Chains A and B, each alone.
Chain A
Amino acid sequence: MTDTLETAAHPENLRRVAIDPVSRVEGHGKVTLLLDENDRVHQVRLHIVEFRGFEKFIQGRPYWEAPVMVQRLCGICPVSHHLAASKAMDMIVGATLTPTAEKVRRLMHYGQILQSHALHFFHLCSPDLLFGFDSDVAKRNIVGIVAAYPDIAKQGVLLRKFGQEVIRITAGKRVHGTGSIPGGVNKNVSLEERDYLLKDIEQIVTWSRESVGIARKLFEQNLDLYNNFGRFKAHTLNIVRADGAMDLYHGGLRARDMDGKTLFDHYDYSHYWDVIFEDVKPWSYMKFPFLRSLGTENGWYRVGPLSRVTQCDFIPTPLAEAERKAFMAFDGGKAAGATLGFHWARMIEMLHAAEQIRELLLDPDLQGNDLVSKGVRQERGVGVIEAPRGTLIHHYKVDENDQIVRCNLIVSTTHNNQAMNEAIRQVARQFIDGKKLTEGLLNHIEVAIRAFDPCLSCATHALGKMPLEVELLDAEGGRVDMLTRSSDGTFACQSDHA
């Protein structure tokens, strides 16, 4: 076994195993493993079909179209792109948001966090977490959860639905809304709309709190596994409010190295390229961003709930803050560094989102009528937001005719590219190296990927129904074994050398 597992020294005599596509994640990704005849692992890579062509596609389009058009990037968190692009366009039109505009947008964003986190935890991950990583694959899906834990499944559905309703009311539609526009929003929240959401919010806060409890219990019950599964040390990146508080909508960039030393803090993201750069590797479509001060090799970092919850100074809502403290203190701080700590952190954020929604709903600014502002027109606009999956950067250049001439996007999953590769290599070392492959073992790799909640490409979306094919090839490339999962979830094993 080579050290980094990124590139095998002698790939020619190794057999290749592919997990293609990775299931229960958003979009299409695949994992390839190279193994020798003794089942030792030599290479592990996560490949991703990225948002190819989008940056090109948007060239020439009018800038006010970007916040709506970019939602086509992703079927699961279109609102994040909607808001990041809007923030970039705020800069283009020289706007300082009115209180109503900013609060309506925040409400929309927390609705998005709530629905996305609920979807991820309950629909995509609870089968692994509640049944076990190598449990009966026929039951390891949302249908199995509905049968075994009907209350949890129902809460998941209703939490998500509430988040979607917040989005519908602020953006006009559940998907492909238009609420946020350059310089502000196109509607406020009426008293009827507010009251409609208020009537369920206490229940939503309660359920979100219980969800944090589920995540905590998973750690308590499987302490060793959860603390150590795919564990690795990583630098972190996220945005924080000026006072160091968690703020998922706006703030300055904070980066810390793997030992907790601050690399930069409250950094103005409109010059993000001075601190973050993107590398390319021949084997993946997805770029590999890195912190410039640490260089290409060592500068990779992790974004998302785990980074945000562990790196903020505090969470500005009381219930979530109490949960953050408990998480940070758990088992001497071990959970806060664990790959599966993502799930716990994600539920803390969901609780924070619910609390934020409750607070915002009582704010009379939501009913204000001053919706849009503008100032001196600029050529360049950068919008950064903490999307459910992590820091999301939108960057545009707009010419004097109002057409977009350049666009650069760094999406959350791209930031986590190297970190996810590290996580699955660690899992390969821990669970696969030297063992005979089974579906359950391979699922460990997917469990590590799912912890990050990657959104691997735009619109495609299937829940546990993606056909999966794992091939074992011998040194000459001939097929030895093939394990397939069909779209109804049944497995078949086929040996060619019978």
Chain B
Amino acid sequence: MSDTFQLDGAAVPFEPGQTVMQAALAAGHYIPHLCYHPEFKPHGSCKLCTVKVNGRTTASCTMPAEANLNVESNIEELNALRRTLVQMLFAEGNHFCPSCEKSGNCMLQALGYDLEVHATGFRHLYPDRPLDASHPDVLLDFNRCILCELCVRASSEVDGKNVFALSGRGITKHLIVNAESGKLSDTDFALYDKAMQVCPVGVILPKRVGFSQPIGERRYDKRPISAQALDDAPRQVDTSGNCEACEDPT
């Protein structure tokens, strides 16, 4: 019998080395997150996953699981904080959901719906971020970048190409392309790269296919992100020996 910690009153089992986030998702408990991706080392930058551990706030995606921790996540205080973070992300970039081709497949938008973010909250900064359309197959629309660094991690760790990096500090921090010209066409980036698949928002896009998926069939049209995040996570068997994710659905 593995050790457990308490998450919003439920006992969550964990393996040594797991984070609170990993253990929670594996046991079927959703904690909102944006920069965490099950295939990559946690990065801890978006803070959407903030929980209270024994009364102190911390990022659950980087917090190692320990026996008998008392973790609070789904409480109004934290959800209010998460709403504010989402509002800040919306205000910081240029996000126009109605005309964005990632709409319906975008994690930021889906989180906004899930957390019931109904108002803008902050004055929009309307940054000027020109597109990079130089690559024949891929469009970069920096307007929507939330600086999660998933593409940076995927390109260096999986693709071995190191195409992306973050540059600048604070409010001027932005995503750059590692090429002398700064243009994607001057890198060896390709459509089948892992970095092509990880962007949670609509920055890294295959060209000429936008909007070909009808409304109703997009990822978050049918089920909220909180339900789907669990599908992606490696799951553990429950106490009676069943694993939902492992069961053959047919």
* A interface with B by C-beta (< 8 Å): 60-62, 64-65, 67-69, 71-72, 93, 171-173, 176-179, 181-182, 186-187, 372, 401-403
Contact = CB atoms under 8 A, between A and B. Distances in A.
A186 B212 CA distance: 5
Contact of B214 (A60, A69, A178): A178
B208 A402 contact: yes
A62 B207 contact: yes
A64 B211 contact: yes
Query: Which of A60, A178, A403 has most B Cβ within 10 Å?
Result: A178
B99 A401 contact: no
Contact of B130 (A60, A67, A68, A172): A60
A71 B133 CA distance: 23
A187 B214 contact: yes
Given A68-B211, A177-B215, A186-B212, A62 B131 contact: yes
Given A60-B131, A69-B99, A402-B207, 15 more contacts: A60-B130, A62-B131, A64-B101, A65-B101, A67-B211, A71-B98, A93-B208, A178-B214, A181-B211, A182-B208, A186-B211, A187-B214, A401-B133, A402-B139, A403-B133
B211 to A, nearest CB: 5
A181 B212 CA distance: 7
Nearest to A58: B99
A345 to B, nearest CB: 33
Contacts of A177: 215
Interface residues of B, number: 19
B127 to A, nearest CB: 14
A402 B212 contact: no
A102 B231 CA distance: 39
A47 to B, nearest CB: 28
B210 A65 contact: yes
Interface in B135-155: 139
A455 B39 CA distance: 51
Interface in B71-102: 96, 98-99, 101
Nearest to B139: A62
B99 A68 contact: yes
B134 interface: yes
B98 to A, nearest CB: 4
A461 to B, nearest CB: 16
A72 B101 contact: no
Interface string B189-230: 000000000000000000111111111100000000000000
A154 B198 CA distance: 50
